[in-house]
Chain A
Amino acid sequence: MNSTFTAPRVDASLDVDQVHVWRGDRHVLKGVSLTLRAGELLHVWGANGTGKTTLLRVVCGLLRPEQGTVAWGGRPIGAQRAEFQATLAYASHEPALKSDLTALENLRFAVGLKRPAADAELQACLDRTGVGRCADLPARVLSAGQRRRVAMARVLGVKAPLWLLDEPFTNLDLAGTGLVSSLLHEHVSGGGLALVVAHQDLDVGLAVRRMELDG
């Protein structure tokens, strides 16, 4: 698995400007701003309940902020929703796998909707994340760590320039953590963008910008 995506678009840049989000009475995001350019990794951290997941969902375009804008390549994502979402890979808290489908079938559908990918390539992604043997096992029999690795294989398979990862190290052992770190390293040094929410320190072998969200 060499470069994790084809060629980064020259205008690959993420700009979040003064985003405010209320959930009921709680002012969850209070004027959050950030920028991300090609070849950068931003580590967002903070205590529980400070809105880290909410921020990721706003960046994805799932949640519309009450105030503030999110722009990709200089244009607001609202104006280019489908195209923007085609350029991102989002890994949420849950591994988001269908428990009745095998790991390979899960990838076939999840990756296949974004880009045509042959089974051989998807198998290679599974091999890269260390769950190649699980390709034909239904997701429900996999351990939590294995499911997390399949989710990472999906992120690889999609070949997206922008990675949005929510707690990608959950349920992973030392080897798994090392794997995700090296995947991040490859992605970012190859010109990709990554926004990672994690409550532990990142050891990716690159300069990492950090941003703290406080409640």
Chain B
Amino acid sequence: MIGMFSALRLILQRELLLSLRRPDQLLQPLVFFLIVTTLFPLALSPQLSLLRDMAPGVLWVAALLSSLLSLDALFRGDAEDGTLEQLALSGQALSVIVVGKTVAHWLVSGAALVVMSPLVAIALGIPLAAFPTMLASLALGTFTLSWLGAIGAGLTVGLRRGSVLLSLIVLPLAMPLLIFGANATDRAIAGVNPAGAMYFLAALCVFTATLAPFAATAALRITLE
């Protein structure tokens, strides 16, 4: 039997290879992110001074919704072609598989979102000075969200209309991180020290990343029965 870290590395390789073979699946949530942020100026006002006030909220809600889209696919592909069972039977702890898949998923979706966020930030009038906080908070937030989504995806992957249930389950759980993340960005825009909100966000991230793997693994076991 191979060791835990070799297994993790192998899973990461597998997931990244699979993602690269399907670039359209990578791009779609990112485009969705852009589209959703475009909706707000169209619905409200093109004035940057007004948009700036709403910018953190718009940014975060758009990030949340597009993450949900990509999270639905976390386990679905493997469940549909039977490889999820094989992974569960690989002799590796299922939690190792789950950690590998979730981290890989964040790398190609959450991290991609963070990289794209400056584009959206400029469009919403967020000043450059706020960018570091915005990027850091989005990185922490999307990582936390990947873990919450892993739990939801684990529970709903085999179900009809599973993606609707996934949103129903994950969004209420994601409200705290929305509060802290948007607030941190808001403070940064106002020129106020965002440390308080960032600490809460970081604490939430650590808490979730520590406990969620167990919950997501348990969820997958229930699904695999």
Contact = CB atoms under 8 A, between A and B. Distances in A.
Contact of B86 (A86, A93, A96): A96
B125 to A, nearest CB: 41
B91 A116 contact: no
A113 B81 contact: no
Nearest to B7: A113
Contacts of B86: 90, 96, 110
A21 to B, nearest CB: 10
Given A64-B225, A100-B21, A86 B85 contact: no
Nearest to B97: A113
B83 A115 contact: no
Contacts of B172: none
A94 B79 CA distance: 11
Contacts of A62: 85, 88-89, 224-225
Contacts of A97: 81, 83
A114 B2 contact: yes
B159 to A, nearest CB: 15
Give chain B's interface secondary structure class.
helix
Contacts of B17: 101, 105
Given A109-B14, A116-B2, A85 B91 contact: yes
Contacts of A115: 1-2
B174 interface: no
Interface in B87-106: 87-93
Contacts of A130: none
A156 interface: no
Interface in A43-62: 57, 60-62
B38 to A, nearest CB: 31
B21 A82 contact: no
- Consensus secondary structure, chain A interface: loop
Interface in A96-128: 96-101, 105, 109-110, 112-116
Interface in B53-93: 77, 81-83, 85-93
B10 interface: yes
B22 to A, nearest CB: 6
B43 interface: no
A83 B1 CA distance: 9
Contacts of A116: 2, 6
A141 interface: no
Nearest to A89: B89
Contact of B18 (A57, A85, A100): A100
Q: Chain B CB within 10 Å — which of A61, A88, A105 has the most?
A: A105
B88 A86 contact: no
Q: How large is the interface on A (under 10, 10 to 19, 20 to 34, 35 or more residues)?
A: 20 to 34
Contacts of A1: none
A101 B224 CA distance: 23
Contact of B85 (A64, A92, A109): A92
A96 B85 contact: yes
A95 interface: yes
A210 B91 CA distance: 28
B13 to A, nearest CB: 8
A86 B88 CA distance: 10
Contacts of B81: 94, 96-99
A80 to B, nearest CB: 11
9 contacts: A82-B93, A93-B82, A94-B81, A96-B85, A100-B22, A105-B17, A109-B10, A112-B10, A114-B1
Interface of A: 57, 60-64, 82-83, 85-88, 90, 92-101, 105, 109-110, 112-116
Given A98-B18, A112-B10, 5 more contacts: A57-B225, A86-B90, A92-B85, A99-B81, A110-B83
